[in-house]
Structure 1
Amino acid sequence: MTTSYTARPGELVRINAHDPVTVRLPPAAGNVGAEVVIKEVAGEEDAVEVLASTGQQVARDGYPYVTLRLVSDGAT
């Protein structure tokens, strides 16, 4: 994987991050119920940044993650 990647709805994004990686999410609108699963396999979860589409946000509970499952509600 390169240092920046744009995920597609329904995709499993597998990352072996030893260097910082940015994953851009697809727009929530038009993708109700679509999932994006991000799996970091090298134990370097702090090297992964997840960015939502413009005007949207990613809800995260504040705990480090190794696997992050995101489901679109069509709005955020």
Structure 2
Amino acid sequence: MFFGVRRIFAAGAELPERPALNFVGAVVTDNPAENRTDVFIRGAWLVSPVVTGTYTARPGELVRVNAHDPVTIRLPPAAGNVGAEIVVKEVAGEEEAIAVLASTGEQVARDGYPYVTVRLVSDGATWVVV
């Protein structure tokens, strides 16, 4: 059962019931911290609510930040997310620090300037600031 759905359609045509789903051309990651499986379809962006504290980003997400107080953005594991992007953008012109941390706790980027933007891409082993 996939989110309570028993039937799956492809372009309006019902597919046969199967005991498993295989996502091809998508990035799929286990997210035990949020108790969910994240599916990122390339070309489709997720947009976060405006973040004011600690937040766990998802592959393919634009994380909007109001850094009135220091903000920490945690990244999902880079492994299994090859080519996935995450963009962190300070949207309120605040001047407090934004820390971006890899899943291991290693700091990737830190900036305290207003309207900061950090673009990260997974190479499968680490998140690279581009």
Please say whether Structure 1 and Structure 2 have the same fold, judged by a TM-score greater than 0.5: yes
Alignment gaps of 5+ in structure 2: 1-50
Q: Compute the RMSD of aligned alpha carbons.
A: 2.3
Higher Rg = 2
Q: Sequence identity, in percent?
A: 79
Q: Which structure has the highest strand share of the two?
A: 2
Deviation at 1:26, TM superposition (A): 0.7
Aligned length: 74
Structure 1 segments of 4+ aligned residues over 6 angstroms from their partners: none
Contact kept, 8 Å, 1:45 with 1:66, in 2: the verdict is no
Which stretch shows the higher mean deviation, 42-51 or 8-17? 42-51
Note if 1:11 corresponds to 2:61: yes
Alignment gaps of 5+ in structure 1: none
Q: 1:66 to 1:54 in 2, by over 3 A?
A: same
Q: What TM-score comes out, normalization by structure 1 length?
A: 0.81
Q: Which has the higher contact order (CA 8 A, sep 6+)?
A: 1
2:121 equivalent in structure 1: 71
